[in-house]
Structure 1
Amino acid sequence: MDLEGASVGTFLMFAGALLSTGAIAGVIAGLLGVGGGIVIVPVLYYMFTLLGVDEAVLMHVAVGTSLATILATGLSSTLSHWKRGSVDLDLLKSWWWAIALGVLAGGTLAGNISGGALTAVFGVVALGVAANMMFRKDGAALADKLPGAPLKQVLGGLIGGISVMMGIGGGTLGVPTLTLFNYPIRKAVGTAAAIGLIIAVPGTLMSIYFGWNQYKPQPYALGYVDLLGVALIIPTSTLFAPLGAKIAHTINPSSLKLVFALFLGFTGLRMLYDVLL
């Protein structure tokens, strides 16, 4: 972002907003396994709008910067869930490569489509997942376990591809997908936090690559990854992620799903509103 010429007051307001965003995103990352991106992407989108970032790359920068923050937030959240035994290593071992391939495909597509299209993807998917989590009856599932190959790998690829286009961790799609196949909500959340890392690592690198010659607000960026935004969000997001993981193990699972759905629904409506109106 370009803060040259901005007043001290403007910079402090901007810094305070992102530090607060990091804290909220950290709690949500630990609570819902979403890597915080569901909060970070829209906040960055509006902050960058206020700072005059070119509309052509606005959503790309929000997505790339969010993915970079998930590297830290997702790690903190994953470790917290790991200590509580809610990360399914067997599933990750059989699924990681399909997720990674999906990330490569989705990241390539994201690097070559318009910012408006990326924003629409974010809004539509967020609303769909919110509706699923809010209106699906407790215990309702398609099957007692995940399907076998190749459908299982296709699901992993879709989670990776769509998530990287939205700039989010694995929880937004991973949690509802796993619970749809009868996974306990807490184990789904913990495993999704780890999936977020599988998405964030290649996703961040691809954002740097595709944005290298497109977004140059010097000296604050590497491609579509805004380093100042990352530096302001990561400290508080990492600090607060363990708190979210702790809360996830103390509240009612139904309440957890409702919180997840409300965040997704609000975010999806807000992003679609900006695209369509």
Structure 2
Amino acid sequence: METIFIIDYIALGLLVGFMAGLLGIGGGGIMVSIFAILFVMQGFPSEGIMHMALGTSMATIIFTSFSSMIAHYKKDNIEVPMTLRISVGVLAGTFIATFIASYLKGVYLALFFSVFMSYIAYKMFRKAHYYHNDNPHGIVGNIASGTFIGAISALVSIGGGSLSVPYLMHQNFDIKRAIGTSAAIGFPIAISGTLGYLLNGWSHTDWNHYIIGYIYVPAVVLVAISSAFTAPLGVKYATQLPTDILKKVFGLLAVVLSIKMLFSVI
């Protein structure tokens, strides 16, 4: 790998770590877009670039979500029974969706990703209002919702927070407990998704370029390590910087990057 790409991946990790700590997001929306762009620049085969971007992002989220989960557990922000119920659905939905993704052309995955990130940007700009739900879901509803959250998360390679936090708040969770529980749900999403992209992409493995399945190992290592340095910094400034404005900036950045990625893949 050329030095310029090593610098690019480290810089991406620093950005993702800071945003993860600041806004409580996994950074998948940023990682997938930039991974796809960098993979094109590195000259990887075009037909597998989008799949590699999704798989590599999912593998990276294992590390970012685990550290977030541990931090929230120490602060007693995780509702363990709900986490276990949703995780049952998440594990199945995420794993199955990776099989679907492996059969889709990269351009369709890129298009779906771009549309989804536009939806996330819309959510970043609007102020959500939650009311007490007199009929929260039971176990079956939690598992079914987890399956849906896991499936969408696998197709766009995110930790699921943009879906699970609103769902948990609709189940009458306060915001702090919703974010903490969502962080815990993100870990099984990442584990299941990584395994799925690893198995489904096994025929694309290229040991000479450190590609295992649909996962580009050097990118995972560099981004995961560098993000660990800036995540605490993001947490530190979470209460000092104008979060509402930063969310809007993140939303716009995600859309711009996803459109750029779409054209790169095409």
Where on the TM-score scale, by shorter chain, does this alignment land: which range? 0.7 to 0.9
Question: Could you give the per-residue CA deviations for residues 70-93 of structure 1, whole angstroms, max 9, x where no partner exists?
Answer: 111111111122222222222102
- Look up the equivalent residue of 2:199 and give its one-letter code: Y
Specify the alignment match of 1:186 in structure 2: 176
Cα–Cα, structure 1 residues 120 and 65, in superposed 2: closer, same or farther, change >3 Å?
same
- Look up the equivalent residue of 2:157 and give its one-letter code: G
Specify the alignment match of 1:161 in structure 2: 151
Aligned pairs (5 A) from 1:102-251: 102-137=93-128, 139-141=129-131, 143=133, 146-216=136-206, 218-248=208-238, 250=239
- Look up the equivalent residue of 1:167 and give its one-letter code: S
Cα–Cα, structure 1 residues 142 and 211, in superposed 2: closer, same or farther, change >3 Å?
farther
Cα–Cα, structure 1 residues 91 and 32, in superposed 2: closer, same or farther, change >3 Å?
farther
Question: Could you give the per-residue CA deviations for residues 230-251 of structure 1, whole angstroms, max 9, x where no partner exists?
Answer: 1211111123333334444x35
> Deviation at 1:192?
1.8
Which segment is superposed worse, 97-106 or 119-128? 119-128
Match of 1:270 among 250, 254, 257: 257
Cα–Cα, structure 1 residues 148 and 247, in superposed 2: closer, same or farther, change >3 Å?
farther
Percent same amino acid at aligned positions?
A: 31
The answer to whether the 8 Å contact 1:29/1:193 transfers is no
Specify the alignment match of 2:246 in structure 1: 259
Counterpart CA distance in 2 for 1:50 and 1:265 is 23
- Look up the equivalent residue of 1:220 and give its one-letter code: Y
Cα–Cα, structure 1 residues 31 and 156, in superposed 2: closer, same or farther, change >3 Å?
farther
Cα–Cα, structure 1 residues 129 and 152, in superposed 2: closer, same or farther, change >3 Å?
farther
Which segment is superposed worse, 33-42 or 228-237? 33-42
Counterpart CA distance in 2 for 1:273 and 1:17 is 17
Counterpart CA distance in 1 for 2:125 and 2:132 is 16
Counterpart CA distance in 2 for 1:32 and 1:141 is 23
> Deviation at 1:145?
7.2
- Look up the equivalent residue of 1:98 and give its one-letter code: G
Which TM-score applies when normalising by structure 2? 0.87
Cα–Cα, structure 1 residues 242 and 170, in superposed 2: closer, same or farther, change >3 Å?
farther
Contiguous gaps of at least 5 residues in structure 2: none
The alignment partner of 2:103 has SS state of coil
Which segment is superposed worse, 27-36 or 71-80? 27-36
Specify the alignment match of 1:16 in structure 2: 7
The answer to whether the 8 Å contact 2:165/2:178 transfers is yes
Specify the alignment match of 1:60 in structure 2: 51
The number of residues matched between the two structures is 264
> Deviation at 1:117?
1.5
Is 1:38 aligned to 2:29, yes or no? yes
Cα–Cα, structure 1 residues 63 and 210, in superposed 2: closer, same or farther, change >3 Å?
same
Which TM-score applies when normalising by structure 1? 0.84
Which segment is superposed worse, 171-180 or 191-200? 171-180
Counterpart CA distance in 2 for 1:142 and 1:126 is 28
Match of 1:99 among 90, 106, 113: 90
Is 1:27 aligned to 2:22, yes or no? no
Cα–Cα, structure 1 residues 127 and 214, in superposed 2: closer, same or farther, change >3 Å?
same
The answer to whether the 8 Å contact 1:102/1:157 transfers is yes
Counterpart CA distance in 1 for 2:248 and 2:179 is 14
> Deviation at 1:28?
2.2
Question: Could you give the per-residue CA deviations for residues 192-245 of structure 1, whole angstroms, max 9, x where no partner exists?
Answer: 222111111111111111111125262411111101111211111123333334
Counterpart CA distance in 1 for 2:118 and 2:133 is 23
